[in-house]
Amino acid sequence: MNDNDVVRDLTLDGNAVAGLLEEVFGADMTTADGECAHCGSANAVGALRAYTRAPGVVLRCPACGGVIARIVQTPRGTLVDLRGAAHLAMRR
Partner 1 sequence: MRRPLEWQIATVKAIAQETAQVKTITLVLPGWTAHRAGQHYDVRLTAADGYQAQRSYSIASPPERPGEVDLTVERIPDGEVSPYLHDVLVVGDAVEVRGPVGGYFVWEASSGGPLLLVAGGSGVVPLMAMLRHRAAAGAKVPARLLYSSRTLEDVIYRQELEALASRDGLEVFHTLTRGQPKGWTGYARRIDQPMLAEVSGPLGTAALAFICGPTALVETTASALVQLGLAQERVRTERFGPTGT
Which residues 6+ apart lie within 8 Å of 47 measured at CB?
A: 13, 14, 62
Contact set with partner 1 (CB under 8 A): 8-19, 22-23, 26, 28, 30-31, 44-47, 49-50, 52-53
With CA atoms as reference, report the closest residue to 69 among 91, 46, 5.
Answer: 46
Looking at beta carbons only, is 43 or 70 nearer to partner 1? Answer: 43
- Closest CB 17 distance from partner 1, rounded Å: 7
Looking at beta carbons only, is 18 or 37 nearer to partner 1? Answer: 18
- Closest CB 1 distance from partner 1, rounded Å: 11
Looking at beta carbons only, is 66 or 73 nearer to partner 1? Answer: 73
With CA atoms as reference, report the closest residue to 13 among 55, 45, 56, 42.
Answer: 45
- Closest CB 53 distance from partner 1, rounded Å: 7
